[in-house]
Amino acid sequence: MTNYFRRHLGAKLLLSYLVIIVVGVTVLILASQFVLPAAFNRHMNGMMGGGMGMAMGNQGLDNSGQMAQLYVDFRASFKIVAVVLSLYLSRSVIAPVHAMSLATERIADGRYDERVQVQGADELAQLASRFNQMAEKLDQTESMRRRLIGDVSHELRTPLTAIKGSMEGLMDGILPATNETYQQIHVEADRLNRLVDDLQELSRVEARAYELDLRPLDVSSIIRTVTKRLTPQFQMKRISLDLELASDFPRVFADEDRTVQVLTNLTGNALQYTPEGGRITISAKRLHSEVQISVRDTGIGIPSEHLSHIFDRFYRVDKSRSRHAGGGSGIGLTIARALVEAHGGRIWAESAGTEQGSIFTFTLPIAK
């Protein structure tokens, strides 16, 4: 019962009205007990002091005077008690609302660390805790935005500095005007170009600014599309490809282009992070109501402490290596994860450690 009142603002308000009524009635009883005898005494004294006749004549008037006084006394004391009680009760309702209003103002001013105190368990307390959740989300989004701007500036600065340095070297005659120098500049400019393209794609994907054309798809035909596209890279690095697919495989419910994009990303990474002569295996299997598609390689592997970060934006296990090896910007897996999650699937990585190869797996729902 007490719990019910603690958790419902309406019940609390009802209770407070009841309390005021009870107090009113109590005041009335007390007033009639204390004021009435006094009035009666005053009345009797008046009768003794004045002449009998006069008293008889004044009695009706005096009596109604006493009653009026009693009524005035009752009203005054009732008002005081009611005002004090209402003030106390409305403060308990208004104080949290007021606190939230102040906090909203501060959040609007950009102070995202603002929180309100949650007291009790009623609707106002629930509102306060939701308010805090919202403030927490805003805080996270804001720090993500700041980090993103910092990261992007950092990523842009690296190729820009390289291009500027090479140009200055050329102008000062320190760098020879050879094909190699121009090629270096071109590589950096190309890197810049790719980075901007990737960022554009990432923001499109993360903002869900694209349509998913979901339909039943044949997984093996998707795998074929991807491997056909990447054949030159497989040949160039003399990496062999294995496919592990069951013949009576269910179709998945997914967007063809996006699925191809995810698998191209994972296979592209496997090619990039596997030394010449290695092996890449693409497999698919059914598990309950979903299909798991895996890309396994015999490459450089991923140390366990990096596994949980590689899907983060701009995250690279070995920054210098990927940068100089014409490596990417660490956005590919972030895009892949956003695309897989948009399909309602999951994506994860496994690796036994450095030089132990890696397995990247994503899931897609089976078409009904």
Ligand X SMILES: Nc1ncnc2c1ncn2[C@@H]1O[C@H](COP(=O)(O)OP(=O)(O)OP(=O)(O)O)[C@@H](O)[C@H]1O
Binding residues vs Mg ion (CB under 5 A): 269, 328, 332
What's the rounded Cα separation, in Å, for the pair 148 and 79?
A: 61
Total of chain residues touching ligand X, rule CB under 6 A: 22
Residue closer to ligand X (CB basis): 344 or 353: 353
- When asked if residue 330 is in the footprint of ligand X (CB under 6 A), the reply is yes
Task: Compute how many other C-beta atoms are within 10 angstroms of the C-beta atom of residue 239.
Answer: 21
Decide: 293 and 219 in contact? Cβ < 8 Å.
yes
What residues contact 320, with CB distance under 8 A and at least 6 apart? Answer: none
Which of 124, 226, 270, 282 touches ligand X (CB under 6 A)? 270
Q: How many residues does the chain have?
A: 368
- When asked if residue 297 is in the footprint of ligand X (CB under 6 A), the reply is yes
Q: Cα dist. 73→19, 31, 35, 65, 67 in Å?
A: 20, 8, 8, 12, 10
Residue closer to Mg ion (CB basis): 166 or 329: 329
Q: Which of 234, 198, 195, 235 is nearest to 323 (CA)?
A: 195
Q: Closest approach of Cβ 222 to ligand X, in Å?
A: 19
Q: Closest approach of Cβ 328 to Mg ion, in Å?
A: 4
What residues contact 260, with CB distance under 8 A and at least 6 apart? Answer: 222, 225, 226
Which of 32, 92, 294, 322 touches ligand X (CB under 6 A)? 322
Which of 107, 230, 263, 302 touches ligand X (CB under 6 A)? 302
Residue closer to Mg ion (CB basis): 237 or 251: 237
Residue closer to ligand X (CB basis): 42 or 346: 346
Q: CB nearest ligand X: which residue?
A: 328
- When asked if residue 317 is in the footprint of ligand X (CB under 6 A), the reply is yes
Give exposure, 284-293, as e/b (b: 16+ Cβ within 10 Å): beeeeebbbb
Q: Closest approach of Cβ 349 to ligand X, in Å?
A: 7
What residues contact 349, with CB distance under 8 A and at least 6 apart? Answer: 302, 307, 310, 311, 358, 359, 360, 361
Phi, psi values for residue 362, rounded to 5°: -135, 155
What's the rounded Cα separation, in Å, for the pair 234 and 31?
A: 100
Q: Tell which positions 165-204 bind ligand X, by CB under 6 A.
A: 198
Q: Closest approach of Cβ 205 to ligand X, in Å?
A: 13
Q: Tell which positions 331-360 bind ligand X, by CB under 6 A.
A: 331-334, 358
Q: Closest approach of Cβ 329 to ligand X, in Å?
A: 5
Q: Tell which positions 78-137 bind ligand X, by CB under 6 A.
A: none
Residue closer to ligand X (CB basis): 299 or 345: 299
Contacted by 107, from Mg ion, ligand X, none: CB < 5 to 8 Å by type: none
Q: CB nearest Mg ion: which residue?
A: 332
Task: Compute how many other C-beta atoms are within 10 angstroms of the C-beta atom of residue 218.
Answer: 14
Write out the residues near ligand X by the rule CB under 6 A: 198, 269-270, 273, 297, 299-300, 302, 310, 315-317, 322, 327-334, 358
